[in-house]
Amino acid sequence: MKDEILTHLNDPRQLEKMYRTNKMVFKREFSTLYPELKGNTLADCWNERLNYESEEINRGTGRELLFVIIASLLAGAIAKLPAILHINEAFFYPRNIGFIIFPALSAYFAWKNKLPAAKIAFIVGTILIGLIFINSLPDVQQSDTLLLSCIHLLLFLWCVLGFTFVGETKNDVEKRLSFLKYNGDLIVMTTLILIAGAIMTGITIGLFSLIGFNIEQFYFENVVVFGLPAAPVLGTYLTQTNPQLVGKVSPVIAKIFSPLVLVMLVIYLVAMVYSGKDPYNDREFLLIFNALLVGVMAIIFFSVAETATTTKSRPEIWVLFLLSVVTIIVSGIALSAILFRISAWGITPNRAAVLGGNVLILVNLLLVTVQLFGVLTKKADITRVGKVISSYLPFYCIWVTIVTFLFPFLFGFK
């Protein structure tokens, strides 16, 4: 696209057409060329258009703010249902914690994207199916399939949120990568909100205790229970109306943590050999090993989502490539360990779920690593990496749906 931009530099109509065809690639390639084009009036205008950031905090429209307030209150009300309706908390929260947050976020993006009634009905129907299903499962003390359904239901609702976020452009690579970037930005913003909330909670309780009022129980039951669900809703509102708030923080975090995680993984694998611990015979260690794998995968995805929107240096691509290679080794160990346990002790719901997840992750990592290698050898563009990740996301959603809704029946509610 660089050559096309240079060829049509004085053709505003063609530049606009190229921009609308692929905004992400256009912005990245133009940013690479701009140092050579400074002084050209049209190039200066495009640079301001692509990189302009307001220094003021955008409060959004009154309707949007009202929507966020109502969604936050509804999320808090759902969290309070066990106290209001005298429902057993041990029954309610493991099954329904996802319905406290995700429907509110899905409603926000459905409203923001102005989705048609048919899509909104599909989203609402999907959420209701999940709600009815999970609360209809037998209430037993020990059930692997129930636990798996509860855990994967959160991921299922996350998939529904992604479907709502993408909106009408369901096959748009840029939109899917934006969803991954939104998740990273949301984690940063929600963490900051929770830290501020924790400080305010401590100050408030401390001030009231000085004048003889012990408000801890009241505060936690009536303020914190509404504040916790409101944090991601407010975080979403801020990231969407003021992307500049975390737009510069998230790339820095990705840039810092990627090499740190790479070093940590290499040291961890070496230490694992010397410690004598292995995931083949230690079930708890295998669970922690898989949790590590999922966490590193999330970091890779987030880093690639950030990388695909900006121009990155060759060392940063190398870090992502090496991190992917090391993660493939981790994934291979985890996959061989679960296959060993299945061959030795038979198939169980947990082993089947972990096996499917590991296979998906390993294949995805291999595809991403091949594309990153192509970028390093200049045989592929970084956008190909983003395309691989975004195209693969539906496979995770399919597997999550299978584990959530079919595993209880396939394994007889064990």
| Claim to verify: residue 374 and residue 326 sit in the same structural domain | yes
**pLDDT (0 to 100) of residue 400:** 96
Burial track 155-184 (b if 16+ CB lie within 10 A, e otherwise): bbbbbbbbbbbbbeeeeebbbbbbbbbbbb
The boundaries of the domain holding residue 83 are 62-244
**pLDDT (0 to 100) of residue 75:** 93
Asked if 250 and 303 count as a contact pair (C-beta separation under 8 A), the reply is no
Q: What is the dihedral of CA 181, 102, 226, 249, to 10 degrees?
A: 0
Q: Is residue 12 part of a domain?
A: yes
| Claim to verify: residue 229 and residue 83 sit in the same structural domain | yes
**pLDDT (0 to 100) of residue 56:** 57
| Number of compact structural domains in the chain | 3
| Claim to verify: residue 186 and residue 288 sit in the same structural domain | no
Distance of alpha carbon 135 from alpha carbon 78, whole angstroms: 15
**pLDDT (0 to 100) of residue 3:** 76
**pLDDT (0 to 100) of residue 26:** 75
**pLDDT (0 to 100) of residue 162:** 93
Domain boundary among 196, 223, 244: 244
**pLDDT (0 to 100) of residue 161:** 95
**pLDDT (0 to 100) of residue 378:** 79
**pLDDT (0 to 100) of residue 349:** 92
**pLDDT (0 to 100) of residue 7:** 81
| Claim to verify: residue 239 and residue 286 sit in the same structural domain | no
| Claim to verify: residue 312 and residue 237 sit in the same structural domain | no
Q: Is residue 234 part of a domain?
A: yes
| Claim to verify: residue 205 and residue 318 sit in the same structural domain | no
| Claim to verify: residue 287 and residue 344 sit in the same structural domain | yes
Q: Is residue 231 part of a domain?
A: yes
**pLDDT (0 to 100) of residue 76:** 92
| Claim to verify: residue 30 and residue 155 sit in the same structural domain | no
Distance of alpha carbon 368 from alpha carbon 376, whole angstroms: 12
Low-confidence ranges of the chain (pLDDT < 70): 1, 21-25, 28, 51-60, 168-172, 247-248, 250, 306-313
| Claim to verify: residue 208 and residue 82 sit in the same structural domain | yes
| Pair of tokens at residue 248 | 């510069």
Q: Is 276 helix (H, G, I), strand (E, B) or coil?
A: coil
